[in-house]
Chains A and B, each alone.
Chain A
Amino acid sequence: MSHGEADGHEFPPMSSVKRWFITTNHKDIGILYTITALFFLVLGGVLAMLMRVQLWSPGASILGANAYNQAVSAHGLLMVFWFISPFAFGFANYIIPLQIGADDLAFPRLNAMSYWAYLFSGLLFIASFFQGGTFAGGWTMYAPLNLPTYMPNIGGTTVVLALIMFIAAVTMGSVNFLTTMYRMRAEGLRMRDLPMFSMSILLTVWMMLFAFAALLAALMILAAQHIFGVTYFSADGGTLLWTHLFWFFGHPEVYIVFFPALGIMAECFQTFTGQRIVGRKWFVLAMVLVALQSFVVWMHHMFLTGINLEIKTLFMVTTIGISLPFDLMVFSLIYTMIKGRIRYTTPFLFSLGALILFIIGGITGVFLGAVVLDYEFRGTYWVVAHFHYVMVGGATGLFAGIYYWFPKMTGRMYDEYLGKVHFALYFLGFNLLYFPLFVAWETPRRVFDYAPGLTSWHQVASIGGFLLGASFLVMFYNLFKSMAVGEEVGDNPWEYSTTAEWAVSSPPPLENFEGKPSYASGKLTFREDPQLTADGSGDNEPTGTPSTDGGVQTESAAASGESALVTGPEAVASAATGAATVHTEEEHADHASFWPFVICFAGFLAFLGLSGIQDGGAYYWLTGAGGALSAVGFVGMAQESFHTPEPTVAEQWPFEGVENMKLGMWMFLGSDVVLFGGFIGSYLFLRVANGWMHWHHAFIPEAHVTLPGLINTYLLLASSFMVVLALVASHKNSKRGVVASLSLTWLLGVGFLINKGIEWNHLFHISTEAFPNGWGISTNVASSTFYLTTGLHGAHVIVGLIMLMYMIPRAMNGAYLGDDEVSIEYFGLYWHFVDIVWLFLFPLFYIL
């Protein structure tokens, strides 16, 4: 019986359906992510097979032109967004807290919300098929194909909204993982000693936090173009703007997809060669370098556009540069195999396969990084083949992960023979499918017609595609069968595993560890009552020479220059013998909340309604119902008592003293900076594209003056001042001061919105020679950028006001006094950030 039941936490057993709707436990969420991602793999795979049937001979008309376009687009979007990364985050959810010695993620309810937003965003995508057809403009969604003019069906809009909802899920997950990994590591576990999989996820979520914010900006603008009629991507420079925003996200996305696979490969290479990754420190540094470089290579996807030659040359250099750290990682993995003794298990075979496929994908990508060659290859099947060798190569690493951690997640071993059959079919099918595409590279991308001379290559590819698809039948059969009748495993079925998840039972107990995990002694131990030092850290400083994966090198090993680890089996042995194992009775976390499900279901309804709101009718009702239900959900969640204790002893460098909630808020704001950066950057880009000075003369009415902006600047600055006064009053235990300051903040915020409303109303209804029908949102590119950017800011103000409407009554009842002032501080972080954004919007949109 889990303690949840024993303690009356009303947390149902795993056999109960209810549990899966209310769970916030990271392992449950991990399982949900994994199963859902596999569902989307099947959906995307079926679409791919439809395409391969169509491509059996040139110009075949099984699907029809538009249906083929939809299949191509939906396949790409579903596989890239709804399968690969969520599949990796199934493992991340399950494994990361175990590897770093945490009981759960920092914000369990946010984690559940992230999952439900992911699931409902996928359901929204599926709904788009039934709204006159789904998105048909390719997975890169290039303008102007992504505009309502070329895609008038509601389903296209629904996909854009589904992606927005998906990014909301990604951002929640990123904030959660970053906070957890920086604030909840076991005592003695330094950042540099994180296990390879954890390290790869850490870098992945950093990239996600910033890259997805840029895509969010692009998608919000696109949604506004579909719903409100802004003119960004149809204006001069608009198509180029989309490519900049998309690929600023899109190139880091390649590494966002591949890094988790790389982490799994590194884990498997270590475990199944019995050898620590050769040059581990350099391997990690190379990953950090790639994560940074990934943000400065995006324009190599744009060599065929009208960007200038200087920038093309610069981005060719940065692109070649990013291959260098990857070379180091590849050689490190190869040398690890040479130095170790290989056990050809299924996870190792998939890891090795991923390495081989990635090498081919990487080498063929260098061609596309060179400007001159890219002129020839861009828009052909060379790109399709290269892209799949990289992305599906990454997925190959993830399939290694499912076999590697299957025993941990289920407590049973998979069938090794069937695993190897799966690998053989998979690897053969993969190469039969994708390698001929290099040969048939002259086939135009996203077009189902091709030169008859290429038919035989396409037929080989189609056979390979079906073989690849069939290989998954073996996998599903193996995993289902093994779950029921597989051999039971103990804590650790792998002889040379080195990470902490193998030191607990399979599957692990609800709160992971019986006792406090600690690496302070140099190896993994569990202890009961850590003595706190004055700074809040543990009493035992880590001793010895820290080594990989939280362990340390033994003195004898260090002396001999070998890399023997004392984690893994020895750590397990240590725990099992009870040398340092003690059971603690500490406060338990809550694990159940129904509200994340409710809120995300409400979001699904609201987005579905929004997709067709221009048509009115049922769509209005759906939007309204979604909005009302989400309000109920948020209030319910705010009222719910949900306890998640922060660890009393943990490694927290470099964020010591910044409590979890505050750090989470800062992470969110970091992402929001990029979101607003995307909007402001879009405005600046379009203004440059249309002529900076010409902009003012051609597009701005005389009635658009500085004064309303200046008044709003005064109002927001005053409201920020009121928030800090509320903090001062809280510090002094002055209830009246807190209530008065928060109320004034609210009034000033409302004043800001009223002033904006008056200004907008005036501009909408001006009638001049240049603007006889007013200056509305669709009038020109300047009005679109003005209303949308300041509108997004206004929406942030509205969210802040809603928070205040919750806080003020609570303050009247005596909340937020003394030590409870942190809530005001967290709100203040948000409100001041909104203020800062306005400090730039004011000059850019009202003066300059």
Chain B
Amino acid sequence: MARFKLYSAIFVVLMALSTTQAIVEETGMVDFDAPGTYWMAFGIILVLSFVKATFVATYYMHLRWEPRSVTYLFLGGLFVALALTTAAAYSIL
């Protein structure tokens, strides 16, 4: 039962954070003609995505209860993907 409550609470948080992302867009912060506001909204929305992904991986995928090495494996893949993306994008700036 304890897990059921935990899973349910996380589900509520995930739905709320997703709604928050849409609300940020509704407020007009995602303004392509106002870079300052746009990049602030960009940061907020992506941080929320990372928070949601962390909740799903940690609790729904049970990383919290697995050996830490499994987390490192997953983060290894993420690091490789981020390294490719950031270095490639930087190379043409």
Contacts and interface: CB of A to CB of B under 8 A. Distances in A.
Do chains A and B stick together as partners?
A: yes
Interface of A: 210, 213-214, 237, 240-241, 244-245, 248, 295-296, 299, 302, 306-308, 311, 654-658, 663, 666-667, 669-674, 676-678, 680-681, 684-685, 688-689, 693, 696-697, 706, 710, 713-714, 717-718, 720-721, 723-725, 728, 825, 828-829, 832-833, 835-836, 839-840, 842-843, 847-848
A240 B83 CA distance: 16
Q: Which 4 pairs of residues, A with B, have the shortest CB-CB distance? A: A677-B81, A673-B77, A681-B85, A654-B69
B80 to A, nearest CB: 5
B63 to A, nearest CB: 9
A206 to B, nearest CB: 8
Interface string B13-28: 0110011011011000
8 contacts: A244-B91, A296-B87, A307-B91, A308-B90, A669-B77, A670-B76, A673-B74, A839-B56
A839 B91 contact: no
B75 to A, nearest CB: 9
A684 B89 contact: yes
B78 A843 contact: no
Contact of A670 (B30, B56, B74): B74
Contacts of A684: 85, 89
A713 B48 CA distance: 13
Given A666-B70, A706-B25, A825-B62, A308 B92 contact: yes
A655 B91 contact: no
Contact of A721 (B3, B7, B19, B45): B7
A672 B7 CA distance: 25
A842 B7 contact: no
Interface in B48-64: 48-49, 52-53, 56-57, 60-62
A674 B73 contact: no
A673 B57 CA distance: 13
Contact of B7 (A308, A667, A724, A840): A724
B49 A308 contact: no
Contacts of A676: 81
A689 B77 contact: no
Given A706-B25, A710-B22, A832 B85 contact: no
Contacts of B88: 241, 244, 248, 681, 685
Nearest to B38: A693
Contacts of B73: 666-667, 670
A710 B81 contact: no
Contact of A248 (B4, B48, B84, B93): B84
Contacts of B81: 673-674, 676-678, 680-681
Nearest to B45: A843
Contact of B15 (A299, A714, A723, A832): A714
Interface of A is mostly: helix
Interface of B: 3-4, 7-8, 11, 14-15, 18-19, 21-22, 24-25, 30, 32-33, 35, 38, 41-42, 45-46, 48-49, 52-53, 56-57, 60-62, 66-70, 73-74, 76-78, 80-85, 87-93
Given A299-B91, A306-B92, A728-B3, A658 B77 contact: no
Nearest to B24: A847
A696 B32 contact: yes
Nearest to B60: A832
Nearest to A831: B60
Nearest to B3: A728
A842 B46 CA distance: 10
A656 B48 CA distance: 33
Nearest to B69: A654
B32 A724 contact: no
A714 B61 contact: no
A671 B30 contact: no
B80 A295 contact: yes
Contact of A710 (B18, B53, B85): B18
A3 B25 CA distance: 67
A716 to B, nearest CB: 10
A655 B92 contact: no
Contact of A240 (B77, B80, B92): B92
Contacts of B32: 693, 696-697
A847 B25 contact: yes
A350 B90 CA distance: 43
A847 B45 contact: yes
A241 B48 CA distance: 28
B4 A210 contact: no
Given A696-B32, A843-B46, A311 B78 contact: no
Contacts of A680: 81, 85
A311 B91 CA distance: 6
B53 A678 contact: no
A244 to B, nearest CB: 4
A836 B89 contact: no
Nearest to A695: B32
A720 B85 contact: no
A159 B77 CA distance: 27
A96 B91 CA distance: 40
Given A666-B73, A689-B92, A693-B32, A842 B21 contact: yes
Given A299-B87, A677-B78, A685-B89, A839 B52 contact: yes
Central interface residue in B57, B66, B77, B88, by most chain A CB within 10 Å: B88
A302 B19 CA distance: 43
A661 B80 CA distance: 24
Contacts of B25: 706, 847
A840 B21 CA distance: 11
